[in-house]
Amino acid sequence: MSTAVANRPMSPEEKKVIFASSLGTVFEWYDFYLYGTLAVIIGNQFFSALDPASRTIFSLLAFAAGFIVRPFGALVFGRLGDMIGRKYTFLVTILIMGLSTFIVGLLPNYSTIGVAAPVILIVLRMLQGLALGGEYGGAATYVAEHAPRNKRGAYTSWIQTTATLGLFLSLIVILGVRTSIGEVAFADWGWRIPFLVSILLLGVSVYIRLSMNESPAFTKMKAEGKTSKAPLSESFGQWKNLKIVILALVGLTAGQAVVWYTGQFYSLFFLTGALKVDGATANVLVACSLIIATPFFVIFGALSDKIGRKPIIMAGCLLAILTYFPVFGALTKAANPDLAAAQEKNKVVVTADPKECSFQFNPTGTAKFTSSCDIAKQVLSASSVSYDNVAGAAGAPATIKIGETVITSYSANGLGADELKKKDAEFKKAVAEDLKAAGYPAKADPAKIDKVTIVIILTYLVLLVTMVYGPIAAMLVEMFPTRIRYTSMSLPYHIGNGWFGGLLPATALAIVAQTGNMYNGLWYPIVIAAVTLVVGTLFIKETKDVDIYAND
């Protein structure tokens, strides 16, 4: 490629390709995030026959269904994209996503049609996940195959901004509707409006995508009669390509996914759950960090065209591994200094017979914890208090040490209802009083929240996201031949992001619940990022200079 061609400005057609692909993907993420943002309200509408705890869990499981089926969408639509073309395949994906979302807005609730309501809802969520599984690979492949060879990182990085922009769009529409009609009406029927609005977004996306041309790489390959007749077997049935798929998953997308979810989702959960910052304040702080950091998706994408994709992605993983613990510690001091001071001066220690301690993870709220160890840990977990575990004498009741004060727990086994109620109230009162005396706050003091420092910390976490995510689309495209590119790149991306990333909040919560330390959930993204760092550094080759027209 000549210097003149390499340095030429972006053509109108290329701008249209990037805009159309990115806009459609924004709308798909808008549709996908609507459900997650409104999960509690949707749970009340479609799972109303269940108790409140189970209702929330089932609504979140329905949300998770969209993540779980994403790799299957990658297989279905990746195959179609490699056989019939990029343009029409990801036109189909946006139709499925948009119509599924629109139908949710029309779907009668449980009180109207009974059990059919949640069943249909879950089916629609799975269709959304399938569509999203096909959308990303199509958009990334389409843009990359239109881009100049030395600008694929810059061009495809615009696709990487769409998840954040889609989340913003969903929040803006929801906030606008809530403000205009009020909370009561919104919870009753107004929640449907953001879903119904998606039909307008769908119309715009379909109109734009119909006017686009097929990618030049696919057109050339089709004219030469080189399209794949069996992209699934070529992608995953031959070790030569399957090896690259596995390396892409373990050495790139798994680490990228956990860094992405930690920076944009787990940080919000940590602020509201562990640090007890009110939800509205936490949302605003996270939103500010996203606004500041989002341009760096494009900056790191463009930088990867000059120095390579691999160094930037690996550096992002390395920084996450090295800094997550100190950064989240600093976040604690900025968001809830009283809690940080109490943890430093008056540590909480649970001493108990290990044999009577159960696994402290109860997602459905139905498990009954009756041993003195379980009861002690449940009370501390309910107050979001971190604690250390010490093995106690066999058969001895568990104790909670707060600073220099020791409180003895009790066993609920064999107690009558009245006695159990009395014991429970006395124990909780004693723990609450001693925690308060030791300086442990019930919630973060708004007057002491250092918002500037928090935004700086959150922006750093999102910058790590932009490092691992900005160059990833170009690198995945460049790793596979044109004839099976859509299929091959989509699967590792969606297993990494749908499973490794999507399961991060639940996995981190389970680790925290089991160990008692609010920072220990960070071990999950750190370990996964470390595996990616090692595998990626040792076994994955740099791709920025690959000629994607000649690697067939």
Domain boundary among 227, 243, 263: 227
Q: Check whether residue 242 and residue 221 sit in a common domain.
A: no
User: Does the pLDDT value for residue 363 go beyond 90?
Assistant: no
Q: Which domain does 310 fall in, by range?
A: 235-336+444-552
pTM for the model:
0.83
Give the CATH number, domain containing residue 206: 1.20.1250.20
pLDDT digits (tens, 9 = 90+) for 388-432: 999 999 999 999 999 889 999 999 888 888 899 999 999 999 999
Average pLDDT across the chain, whole number: 85
Q: Please state the domain count of the chain.
A: 3
Q: Check whether residue 326 and residue 404 sit in a common domain.
A: no
Residue 6: predicted pLDDT: 44
User: Any idea what the Cα angle at residue 466 is, between residues 460 and 469, rounded to 5°?
Assistant: 140
Q: Check whether residue 134 and residue 258 sit in a common domain.
A: no
Residue 550: predicted pLDDT: 59
Backbone angles phi, psi at 349, to 5 degrees: -130, 130
Domain boundary among 381, 415, 437: 437
Type and span of the H or E element at 399: strand 399-402
Q: Check whether residue 178 and residue 244 sit in a common domain.
A: no
- Better-predicted residue by pLDDT, 215 or 270: 270
Q: Check whether residue 183 and residue 35 sit in a common domain.
A: yes
Q: Check whether residue 502 and residue 391 sit in a common domain.
A: no
Residue 4: predicted pLDDT: 39
How many whole angstroms separate alpha carbon 434 and alpha carbon 424? 16
Domain presence at residue 5: no
Q: Check whether residue 246 and residue 285 sit in a common domain.
A: yes
User: Does the pLDDT value for residue 494 go beyond 90?
Assistant: no
User: Does the pLDDT value for residue 2 go beyond 50?
Assistant: no
Residues in CB range of 536: below 8 A, 6 or more apart: 251, 252, 255, 310, 313, 314, 317
Domain presence at residue 524: yes
Residue 120 C-beta-side C-alpha neighbours within 13 Å: 17
Domain presence at residue 2: no
pLDDT digits (tens, 9 = 90+) for 287-298: 889 889 999 999
pLDDT mean over 136-145? 79
Q: Check whether residue 162 and residue 72 sit in a common domain.
A: yes
Q: Check whether residue 362 and residue 387 sit in a common domain.
A: yes
User: Does the pLDDT value for residue 20 go beyond 80?
Assistant: no
Residue 449: predicted pLDDT: 96
What percent of the chain is predicted at pLDDT more than 70?
A: 90
User: Does the pLDDT value for residue 57 go beyond 90?
Assistant: no
Domain presence at residue 6: no
pLDDT digits (tens, 9 = 90+) for 512-550: 877 889 999 999 999 999 999 999 999 999 999 888 765
Domain presence at residue 313: yes
Helix (H, G, I), strand (E, B) or coil at 407: strand
Domain presence at residue 522: yes
Domain presence at residue 176: yes
Q: At what angle do helices 12-37 and 86-106 cross, to 10 degrees?
A: 30
Domain boundary among 402, 437, 472: 437
pLDDT band of residue 340 (cuts 50, 70, 90) is: very high
Residue 367: predicted pLDDT: 60
Q: Check whether residue 38 and residue 147 sit in a common domain.
A: yes
Residue 94 region, left (φ>0) first, then alpha (ψ -120 to 50), else beta? alpha
Starting from the edge strand earliest in sequence, which strands make up the sheet with 388-391, in order? 388-391, 348-352, 399-402, 405-408
Residue 513: predicted pLDDT: 74
CA neighbor of 426 nearest in space, from 415, 440, 442, 438: 415
How many whole angstroms separate alpha carbon 190 and alpha carbon 193? 6
User: Does the pLDDT value for residue 243 go beyond 70?
Assistant: yes
- Better-predicted residue by pLDDT, 360 or 323: 323
Domain presence at residue 213: yes
pLDDT digits (tens, 9 = 90+) for 179-200: 899 888 998 999 999 999 989 8
Residue 361: predicted pLDDT: 58
Give the CATH number, domain containing residue 359: 3.40.30
User: Does the pLDDT value for residue 27 go beyond 70?
Assistant: yes
Q: Check whether residue 423 and residue 534 sit in a common domain.
A: no
Q: Check whether residue 95 and residue 29 sit in a common domain.
A: yes
